[in-house]
Amino acid sequence: MTNNLIIRPVTDDDTETLWLMLYYAAHMDEDDNRTVADAKTDSFLRRYVEHWGQKDDFGLIAEVNQQAVGAVWVRQFEEDEYPELAIAVLPDMIGRGIGTQLMTHMIAQSKGKLSGILLSVRANNPAYNLYRRLGFKTEREMMNRVGTLSYEMILRL
C-alpha cells in the first residue's frame, strides 16, 4: 500500500498522462528505443487515447503527492461487444497495490453502467492473476502486436 494515494476521475487535462500510461500498458518500455511518441503514432495503440473525451470514455488516475503513478480507463470500440480496459502503473510503483485499487474502483464504477469489460494481457504478465482474482475469465488466446501470446479476458457485470 502507498500512503497518500488518491484515485480520481480522468479529466480532459489528463490526455498526456494517458499517453504515458499507454506506453507502459503496451510494454513499449521493454522495446529498444521506443518512446511515448511511438505510442501516439502506432496505428493499433493510438485508438486507446486519441480523441479522448468521447461520450462513453471514462477512467481513473492514481496519484501520490499530486503525481500520476497509474491509470485505468475504458473505451468502447466498434468491433467489441464490451468496452476495452487499459491499465498501467509506473514501473517503480508496481507491487504497492495501486493496480488492484485502480481495478477495484473501476469495476465498482462500471457496475450499472456497463454489462462487461474486456481486456487483453500478455501470458507472462503477473497481472493476469490479479484479473482472475477480480473475476475476469479468459475467453481466448491470441497473438499480440509483438508476436507473443496474450489472453483476452472478460468480466461480465
Round the average pLDDT of the chain to a whole number and report it.
Answer: 93
Q: Is the pLDDT of residue 139 over 70?
A: yes
User: Tens digit of pLDDT for each residue in 1-58?
Assistant: 567 899 999 998 999 999 999 999 998 988 778 899 999 999 889 999 999 999 889 9
Q: Which CATH architecture has domain 5-156?
A: 3-Layer(aba) Sandwich (3.40)
Instruction: Using pLDDT thresholds of 50, 70 and 90, give the confidence band for residue 72.
Output: very high
Name the residue ranges covered by the structural domains of the chain: 5-156
pTM, rounded to two decimals:
0.93
Contact of 131 with 122, CB cutoff 8 Å: no
> Residue 155 contacts by C-beta under 8 Å, 6 or more apart in sequence?
107, 116, 117, 131, 134, 135, 136, 137
Contact of 12 with 53, CB cutoff 8 Å: yes
pLDDT value for 141: 95
Q: Across the strands, what pairs with 100?
A: none
Torsion of CA 74, 77, 81, 84, to 10 degrees: -30
